[in-house]
Chain A
Amino acid sequence: MKRASGFRLSLTGIALLIPLALFIIVVFLAQYAWPAIGFNGIRFIGTIDWSLGNLYMNPVTVRGYSVPLGANYGILAFIVGTLLSSFLALLFALPVAVGTAIFLAEAAPDRLRPALSMLVELVAVVPSVVFGLWGIYVLAPLISHYIGPGITAVFGFIPFFNIHNSTGSGFGLLAAAIVLALMITPIIATTLYDALRQVPRELRESAVALGATRFEVVTKTMLPTVRVTLVGGVVLGLGRALGETMAVLMVSGGALNYLPKTIFTPISTMAAFILSQLDSALSDPTGMAVKSLAEIALVLFVITLAVNALARVIVRGATLVRNV
């Protein structure tokens, strides 16, 4: 009995390390960004204009904080860019991922199944920089010359989908969304495929015995069983999309101080912006610029948490409704 409790204790300790690491990171971020939180207030998430101010003049004191002259930190454009690109990516990725998982679980030939599933997992391992390079040299010209005019031809009556309302360079919201979709599809697909494989045979056999078609077996019996895992996979994928830095930086076009009018307009996301601003922010003698970047990281973390929580609430709500 004594050995079991020691074992249990050490196991608990090790398991607590991960939440502890998360807690430490959040506390560090909040504590480091505290002066920026005080200086920026609520205007931080409501203002589009971001300016580091004049770093070559002497700092001034505004509202009790020493900041560069003209410094004004607002991240609404980046929040919108992050959310738009991530949810658009999810919109593209979800049908493909679910379809891939169902195909792998049900329709793939037995001999090819291991090879195909390994191929899907391999896409998840590709470094994001590679997607970024592909995006610059293949995807952006493709959007500019073919995909963009194609979408405009069909949906052009809606201004948001009309390429003529933008400069048509191919770098922008759509490019970022496609690159992100490519990165999160394998995550969702492999998670769902593993879960589908675990659905007990008896469940499928009883559905077939009751006269269900193959499609109904999958959609009405198997998918509802793995709903929680599907949401888990979606949240994982969304988490990666919200935090993706390098690939998005390379194809998003680096917009500043405006919101996108079309899906072809350049955007900036929070993670990519922190990266691109960091070196210049370090030259701010008051330190307020780097602290504001840390505040962006904090806001990104809060948004990711909120999306996570929302997903779980939706699942619980759907389960409750179903079981009523």
Chain B
Amino acid sequence: MRSDAKLRRSTLLRAAAAAALVAGLGMGVAQAAGVSLVETGSSLLYPLFNIWVPHFEKAYPGVKVTTQSTGSGAGIAQAISGVVQIGASDAYMSDQQIKQNPDILNIPLAISAQAINYNLPGLNDKHLKFSGPVLAGIYTGKITKWNDPAIEKLNPGVKLPDHQIIPVHRTDGSGDTFIFSQYLDFSTPSWANTVGYGTTVSWPAVQGGLGANGNPGMVEALKQNPYAIAYIGVSFYKEVAQAHLGKAMLLNKAGKFVLPTAKTISAAADELVGKTPADERISLVFAPGAMSYPIINYEYAIVNSKQKDAATAKAVKDLLTWASNQGNSESYLKQVEFKALPAAVKKLSAEQIAKISG
């Protein structure tokens, strides 16, 4: 009898000690945490966001930022559902989506661009020329071989191989798909009538066309498959160069072939940024101008203007303001080949950021 009572008491004591320990740990953790922000979405913006975060956290020590690369579609969906505070997206939201979610803001953080890369044994150091209609032909299966007359016409004097083209597309909801399909849509009426543009499109049946996940997946697909062609964000230029993949010159609206360089991206941006509306949803694809690169876009932060509390709202506003100003300095943007927002757009962004409250 006596040993039973002793046993029960010692068990109770041990249970009480464990509970106190857990409670103490919990309290300790809660006091140590400041504000925690989660950013998810565009794989095109992901490299830049990762460069930004350590510098931002040094400037604002009470805020911890976690980043993920899941695709623009996920960025938009999770920002709307409230799972994350900042959804990164190369694509702005549609009119219908804005109507259904009037509290969501699309705030540009930088201007980025997209390259068309390919893996052609022996030809990867040459910049082959492509146009929107030719790319549309490749991705609809009308142009199947690299030495098709349409491609040869754009590249006179280049010996193209007699081999099937492997077009690679994104399987996840992707902002890169959005701007690539916009380029095809704006330049090729037959594509506009059949496929259109979006973060996901109904890719026409091309036997052997591959799907890849995220920009890194696109680079991998090119590395492993000779004779493949893919659309990859310029922020991955280091990985593309390391893998010795080719970069294409694209036909712009003025009829000139251009590479994605700081000069051509700036030229395109200068043509269209003046037309940016107050809600900052605008396409910068297929800009006019002889020097303009045809596939550029705003990198958007999709943010809910109503955050869960004042501390989170302040942290979000600090992050977005820092990103559009300090974050837009050449030292950061140069590492991903992006371009800074012009002053007029920064002003519009500041006005949208001011709407965020908690």
Q: Closest B residue to A50 by CB, please name it.
A: B202
| Residue from B196, B210, B213, B228 within 8 A of A70 (CB atoms) | B196
A254, B210: Cβ atoms closer than 8 Å: yes
Let me know if B62 is at the binding interface, CB within 8 A: no
Interface residues of A in 247-293 (CB under 8 A from B): 249-250, 253-258, 261, 265-266, 268, 276-280, 282-283, 285
Q: Closest A residue to B227 by CB, please name it.
A: A167
Complex CA gap A277/B198 in Å reads 12
Chain B contact residue count (CB 8 A cutoff): 44
| Residue from B76, B100, B169, B198 within 8 A of A52 (CB atoms) | B198
Q: Closest A residue to B171 by CB, please name it.
A: A254
Q: Taking each of B202, B208, B211, which has the highest tally of chain A beta carbons within 10 Å of its own beta carbon?
A: B208
Which residues of A have CB within 8 Å of B358? Answer: none
Complex CA gap A72/B196 in Å reads 14
Which residues of A have CB within 8 Å of B213? Answer: 249-250, 254, 276
Let me know if A233 is at the binding interface, CB within 8 A: no
B211, A256: Cβ atoms closer than 8 Å: yes
A255, B209: Cβ atoms closer than 8 Å: yes
A254, B97: Cβ atoms closer than 8 Å: no
Which residues of A have CB within 8 Å of B186? Answer: none
B204, A54: Cβ atoms closer than 8 Å: no
Given A249-B171, A285-B100 in contact, is the A280-B198 Cβ separation under 8 Å?
yes
Interface residues of A in 44-103 (CB under 8 A from B): 48-59, 70, 72
Q: Report the stretch among A26-34, A136-144, A193-201 that lies at the interface.
A: A136-144
A167, B196: Cβ atoms closer than 8 Å: no
Let me know if A148 is at the binding interface, CB within 8 A: no
Q: Taking each of B74, B93, B202, which has the highest tally of chain A beta carbons within 10 Å of its own beta carbon?
A: B202
A167, B164: Cβ atoms closer than 8 Å: yes
A-B residue pair count with CB separations less than 8 angstroms: 124
Complex CA gap A253/B209 in Å reads 8
A94 to chain B, nearest CB (A): 30
Let me know if A170 is at the binding interface, CB within 8 A: yes
Let me know if A166 is at the binding interface, CB within 8 A: yes
Let me know if B77 is at the binding interface, CB within 8 A: yes
Complex CA gap A55/B177 in Å reads 13
Given A253-B211, A256-B205, A266-B209 in contact, is the A279-B71 Cβ separation under 8 Å?
yes
Let me know if A171 is at the binding interface, CB within 8 A: yes
Let me know if A169 is at the binding interface, CB within 8 A: yes
B172, A279: Cβ atoms closer than 8 Å: yes
Let me know if B264 is at the binding interface, CB within 8 A: no
A257, B99: Cβ atoms closer than 8 Å: no
A87 to chain B, nearest CB (A): 22
Complex CA gap A72/B200 in Å reads 14
Which residues of A have CB within 8 Å of B331? Answer: none
Let me know if B31 is at the binding interface, CB within 8 A: no
Complex CA gap A59/B100 in Å reads 13
Given A54-B196, A141-B224, A253-B210 in contact, is the A283-B205 Cβ separation under 8 Å?
no
Q: Taking each of A72, A250, A258, A279, which has the highest tally of chain B beta carbons within 10 Å of its own beta carbon?
A: A279
B224, A169: Cβ atoms closer than 8 Å: yes
Interface residues of A in 156-199 (CB under 8 A from B): 166-167, 169-171
Interface residues of B in 184-224 (CB under 8 A from A): 196-213, 220-221, 224
Which residues of B have CB within 8 Å of A59? Answer: 96
Complex CA gap A163/B223 in Å reads 19
Q: Closest A residue to B72 by CB, please name it.
A: A279
Which B residues fall within an 8 A CB radius of A? 70-71, 73-74, 76-77, 80, 93-97, 99-100, 164, 166, 169, 171-173, 196-213, 220-221, 224-225, 227-228
23 contacts across the A-B interface (CB closer than 8 A) = A52-B198, A52-B202, A55-B96, A55-B199, A59-B96, A169-B225, A249-B213, A255-B211, A256-B203, A256-B211, A257-B205, A258-B207, A266-B211, A276-B213, A278-B173, A279-B172, A279-B173, A282-B77, A283-B93, A283-B173, A283-B199, A285-B96, A285-B100
